[in-house]
Structure 1
Amino acid sequence: MLLCRGIEVEELTICELQQHLTTASFTSQDLTQCYLNRMDVLNPCIKAVIETNPEALSIAIDLDTERSNGVVRSMLHGIPFLVKDNIATKDGMQTTAGCFALIGTRVPADADVVAQLRAAGCILLGKANLSEWASMRSSYYSEGYSSRGGQNRNPYNLAEHPGGSSSGSASAVAANFCAFSIGTETDGSLMFPADRCGLVSIKPTVGLTSTTGVIPEAKSLDTVGPFGRSVEDVALVLEVLADPNSRPSSLNPDYSSLLASKEMLINARFGMPMNRVWNSARDNAEQAAEYEALIELVSKIKDTGAKVYEVEFPSAEDIIPPDGWDWDYAEGYTGSSLSEFQVVKTEFYHGLKEYLTGLEHNESSILTLEDIVKYNIDHTHTEGGVPGTHLAWPTGQDNFDRCLEAKNESEEQYTKAFEYIRLKSREQGIDAALTHSEGDLDGLIVPISVDGGVSVSIAAKAGYPMITVPVGVDGKGVPFGIGLIQTAFREDLLIKYGSAIEDLTGPRPEPTYLNFYASNYTYIGTPPVSS
């Protein structure tokens, strides 16, 4: 139980917290201290937070003074939040992507999204843990682990990972360390943690939210989005983060005004992509119970009066792997030169150099990916740069090694891959599936993980928006949810119909903290072949 001046604030939404602040049930200083106290108790085991903001309480006091003088900047005024440690903050904290190599560097300014949230009156509590380098460095690794933050764990079952790479951002909200948090996604890093931590998250259209000041992975795929306990929470945060100049002026920017009840589903039209998506989920024997729960929810959606059609991605065989998430897959096979990873490794190599050379202070002269790779080898006892020297990274930094190839590859190779994944995921993918003889569909209903994560990946390749809503928990006590995908800048439809589906599913499942003292690593990927 999390009490603040005798009031239980655990699981309260942003609006509920704001109501207490308005009526002076407690102050923002009180609330900030309550969250910090909770971190003191639980974070040593969950490891969701890398470091706390030494200025958090003073910021809260200043915002309380503003409130007492009649100034309330927004619905987020005085609300505490966390940001992923690849998002720059120009304050007393580090920005390191979880690695020791960047300790001591100084960023030139707050990331745009941090500046926007500060301007809205939010209180930055600290930096959230993550899968180091946003899951970029290795093909087989412990999800949620960083050398700075240690092994982040799932508050529902600490023997399980919280999903990556925005693991700490999600697990912190799930464990009630903050009211909301901010993460980043290139491919799955918002959707998967929200799914496994019983949260709502929205992955915005690439370009709707600024990535300036975010350690880049791939500029054409990267996006910044919120985690919250409800669709209302993420809608309120997205209103602050969204760039009004990035989308068509005809689209409603007041996302929270679009929140709806289940009655909104009457006469709504949705599609279920079958080949390689729902069919793969159906055939997933290990997650049969979750599949049945999702199908039952689809039946409930139909019972409200919605129409749900079986649809297809025309490009399914070309771009969606048959055996689950695989960013090396394209042209119907793994290892294609037209794959998403071809795009990512090129953009990462060049984008990281641009970020590092733009730092205000860089005492160790970490200026390129080559410098990072060397640092990890020189400090392999903590960074696991050499395969087999650190339990969290059995394959060392093999993905970094592959990214180094980008310096010798032609721009033509990159361009061909970029154009291929865009065509197959957009015109021959999501946009085609949304087009129906009865009119454009209101969204594509998809699993988040029961299909092996492939639907999340096609939305990422397209740079299109997606929302996930909690549904239930699996046999290990780990949550799972359902997703909606739309075309570019139709976050309004995702919020409208996501909130309507949320009204059907009810409140999110609360964390149970099973295996509280677990000490295992939580591997994902393909294990290395032993010699």
Structure 2
Amino acid sequence: MAGGEIIHTDSPCAGERIPADGKWNWMYGEPSEREFTVAKVDAYNNINSYLAELQGTTMKTAEDIVAYADANSGTEGARAGDHAAFASGQDLFNEVVAHRGVEDGTYRKALSCTRRKSRDEGIDAALHVTKDGRSIELDALLQCDGRGAGQQIAAQAGYPIITIPIGIDAGGIPVGLSLQHTAWQEGALIKWASAIEDLLLSSRGRRHAPGYRNPLAKNIPVDEDSLFS
């Protein structure tokens, strides 16, 4: 990169937080280590806090949302197989509601583990490297991660991440470059991402135009005659 140096670094937590296939999986690990153990508790409590203050709706709890989806599964996809976009239905949301936001011992262990592994033993550790006997603090972590596990570490840490488009792969799928840093470094990431985009535009010209494949295709069989009769 013009004016910059790319240095290889490793995340000590990678083997424990990222599955062998490299795909994002918030069920990975024991319950006391999982991202989902934390997410299901926080989701329930945050949703209920938000709905409690929301005006103009009868939806006041996460249970209300589940009940509505159950009553309208054809459009909301509550049951497995009812909606192509939600193949397994609202199984995870059901689990969120079943736990009822209880911050039990397993939750506290998972929260502590997730923060330690993704922060101290993850992004913060990867930002500090030793090269030729010198200790170096990197300006950002670069990842070209199509499977999502790298972004998962930033999500678990609650640290900033920014992704910019850098091209299209052989199958026509957009490819993004992610930049990560520690807490409160959003400004630095925006600066570096902007510089990389400027460099790409100056060397390649305009970005690839988006392509559309079967834009009128429908995942769910629809009787159009009945819709417009």
Same fold (TM over 0.5): yes
Q: Given that residues 118 and 157 in structure 2 are in contact (C-alpha distance below 8 angstroms), is that contact kept between their aligned partners in structure 1?
A: yes
1:414–1:305 CA distance, 2 compared to 1 (3 A): same
**When the two structures are superposed, what TM-score results if normalisation uses the length of structure 2?**
0.83
Cα deviations by residue, 1:482-515 (Å, 9 ceiling, x for unpaired): 1111111112221222122212322322223343
- Give matches, 1:67-78, under 5 Å: none
2:171 to 476, 494, 497: 476
Residue in structure 2 matched with residue 513 of structure 1 by the alignment: 212
Identity in percent: 40
Q: Given that residues 448 and 468 in structure 1 are in contact (C-alpha distance below 8 angstroms), is that contact kept between their aligned partners in structure 2?
A: no
Matched, 1:367 2:60: yes
Q: Given that residues 166 and 200 in structure 2 are in contact (C-alpha distance below 8 angstroms), is that contact kept between their aligned partners in structure 1?
A: yes
> Which amino acid is the alignment partner of residue 25 of structure 2?
D
Deviation (angstroms), 1:403: 0.6
Residue in structure 2 matched with residue 339 of structure 1 by the alignment: 34
Matched, 1:490 2:182: no
CA distance in 2, matches of 1:321, 1:439: 29
> Which amino acid is the alignment partner of residue 24 of structure 2?
W
Q: Secondary structure at the match of 2:8?
A: strand
Q: Gaps spanning 5+ residues in structure 1: where?
A: 1-300, 522-531
Q: Given that residues 470 and 505 in structure 1 are in contact (C-alpha distance below 8 angstroms), is that contact kept between their aligned partners in structure 2?
A: no
CA distance in 1, matches of 2:151, 2:50: 27
Q: Gaps spanning 5+ residues in structure 2: where?
A: 221-229
Matched, 1:317 2:15: yes
Q: Given that residues 26 and 36 in structure 2 are in contact (C-alpha distance below 8 angstroms), is that contact kept between their aligned partners in structure 1?
A: yes
> Which amino acid is the alignment partner of residue 209 of structure 2?
E
CA distance in 2, matches of 1:337, 1:425: 15
Cα deviations by residue, 1:117-167 (Å, 9 ceiling, x for unpaired): xxxxxxxxxxxxxxxxxxxxxxxxxxxxxxxxxxxxxxxxxxxxxxxxxxx
Q: Given that residues 118 and 156 in structure 2 are in contact (C-alpha distance below 8 angstroms), is that contact kept between their aligned partners in structure 1?
A: yes
CA distance in 2, matches of 1:368, 1:395: 22
Deviation (angstroms), 1:408: 7.4
Q: Given that residues 357 and 367 in structure 1 are in contact (C-alpha distance below 8 angstroms), is that contact kept between their aligned partners in structure 2?
A: yes
- Give matches, 1:151-190, under 5 Å: none
Cα deviations by residue, 1:448-472 (Å, 9 ceiling, x for unpaired): 31xx111111111111111212111
Deviation (angstroms), 1:326: 0.4
CA distance in 2, matches of 1:414, 1:355: 21
**When the two structures are superposed, what TM-score results if normalisation uses the length of structure 1?**
0.38
Q: Given that residues 465 and 491 in structure 1 are in contact (C-alpha distance below 8 angstroms), is that contact kept between their aligned partners in structure 2?
A: yes
Q: Secondary structure at the match of 1:439?
A: strand
Q: Secondary structure at the match of 1:341?
A: helix
Q: Secondary structure at the match of 2:129?
A: coil
1:456 to 151, 157, 178: 151
Please identify runs of 4+ aligned residues in structure 1 that moved more than 6 A.
Answer: none
- Give matches, 1:316-465, under 5 Å: 316-323=14-21, 324-329=23-28, 333=29, 335-362=30-57, 365-407=58-100, 409-437=102-130, 438-449=135-146, 452-465=147-160
Deviation (angstroms), 1:416: 1.6
Cα deviations by residue, 1:23-79 (Å, 9 ceiling, x for unpaired): xxxxxxxxxxxxxxxxxxxxxxxxxxxxxxxxxxxxxxxxxxxxxxxxxxxxxxxxx
CA distance in 2, matches of 1:388, 1:436: 48
Q: Secondary structure at the match of 2:189?
A: helix
Q: Number of aligned pairs?
A: 211
Q: Secondary structure at the match of 1:311?
A: coil
CA distance in 2, matches of 1:408, 1:470: 37
1:431–1:485 CA distance, 2 compared to 1 (3 A): same
CA distance in 2, matches of 1:473, 1:428: 32
Deviation (angstroms), 1:313: 0.8
CA distance in 1, matches of 2:85, 2:165: 29
Q: Given that residues 370 and 404 in structure 1 are in contact (C-alpha distance below 8 angstroms), is that contact kept between their aligned partners in structure 2?
A: yes
Cα deviations by residue, 1:320-372 (Å, 9 ceiling, x for unpaired): 2222100112xxx3x5332111111001112111211212233xx32222222
Q: Given that residues 325 and 454 in structure 1 are in contact (C-alpha distance below 8 angstroms), is that contact kept between their aligned partners in structure 2?
A: yes
Residue in structure 2 matched with residue 21 of structure 1 by the alignment: none
CA distance in 1, matches of 2:211, 2:145: 22
Q: Secondary structure at the match of 2:49?
A: helix
> Which amino acid is the alignment partner of residue 433 of structure 1?
A
Deviation (angstroms), 1:409: 4.3
> Which amino acid is the alignment partner of residue 307 of structure 1?
E
Q: Given that residues 167 and 174 in structure 2 are in contact (C-alpha distance below 8 angstroms), is that contact kept between their aligned partners in structure 1?
A: yes
Residue in structure 2 matched with residue 500 of structure 1 by the alignment: 195
Q: Secondary structure at the match of 1:431?
A: helix
Q: Given that residues 168 and 208 in structure 2 are in contact (C-alpha distance below 8 angstroms), is that contact kept between their aligned partners in structure 1?
A: yes
